[in-house]
Amino acid sequence: EKSPRKHKVPLTASEALKFFKNQLSTYEQSEILGYTELWFLGLEAKKLNVPSENFGASSFDDEHGSYMKVLHDHIAYRYEVLEMIGKGSFGQVAKCLDHKNNEFVALKIIRNKKRFHHQALVELKILEALRRKDKDNSHNVVHMKEFFYFRNHLCITFELLGINLYELMKNNSFQGFSLSIVRRFTLSVLKCLQMLYVEKIIHCDLKPVSTAPRSHRASLHDRAFARRRLNGISGLGSE
């Protein structure tokens, strides 16, 4: 039988098993049954082969609870892992191609540990609040796109920004910028901080690394937000 044309997406689980079963891992052959749409299968990747009978809650994790990523494999049968662009105590961030929307995104994969999962849930509430308050994308804060679970890891996707302010300064040999550019960046950051102040949100780790210039303005990102009144949770600082 001929395989479906490449542009024929999304696939159903039955279609994927019909045409590509031998290229899927044993675990994936059962995992895909839980998905109604399959946008990317990562067929060229060197997949982690975890037999279904040996599967546990941490079968795809390293000893620290971080997801063992594989370049050009899928995340949730939609995102293709292109490169790793960040890592912290919370987990890791990958640059991915979203095969559903045909766009690049930053995908944060939270460690499979209870305390990091709890912190990430608080972060999600804050990100939702910021998204509601900045619907027109005028307050210079990075926007969350979606969140979901994949192999016991909470995953959050964001718009993909360029290099951060520290990297930009480094590329400029730390010579500094013109006063007009500094003014634009400063006004952008202050506009964001003004919105955070109104919403009683504190950015706990404001620095060049968490500021991403774009089109002569700057956007704040990083998970180091604390909200003073968020369902009774108080004072969650940076890691």
Question: Could you give the CA distance from residue 126 to residue 182 in angstroms, rounded to a whole number?
Answer: 28
pLDDT 10s digit of each residue in the chain, 239 long?
A: 444 445 588 999 999 999 999 999 989 999 999 999 999 999 999 998 776 666 778 889 999 999 999 999 999 999 999 999 988 888 999 999 999 999 999 999 999 999 999 999 999 999 998 999 888 888 888 889 999 999 999 999 999 988 888 998 999 999 988 999 899 989 999 999 999 999 888 888 888 888 888 755 666 665 444 444 333 333 333 33
Residue 235 three-state SS? coil
Positions marked catalytic? 205
53 within a domain of the structure (yes/no): yes
Provide the residue range defining the domain that includes 217: 165-227
Binding site members: 108
Binding site members for ATP: 108
129 and 119 Cβ atoms separated by less than 8 Å:
no
pTM: 0.83
Domain boundary among the residues 140, 159, 178 is at: 159
Tokens representing residue 222 in the block: 């990083």
Does 59 lie in the same domain as 134?
yes
Question: Could you give the CA distance from residue 121 to residue 71 in angstroms, rounded to a whole number?
Answer: 27
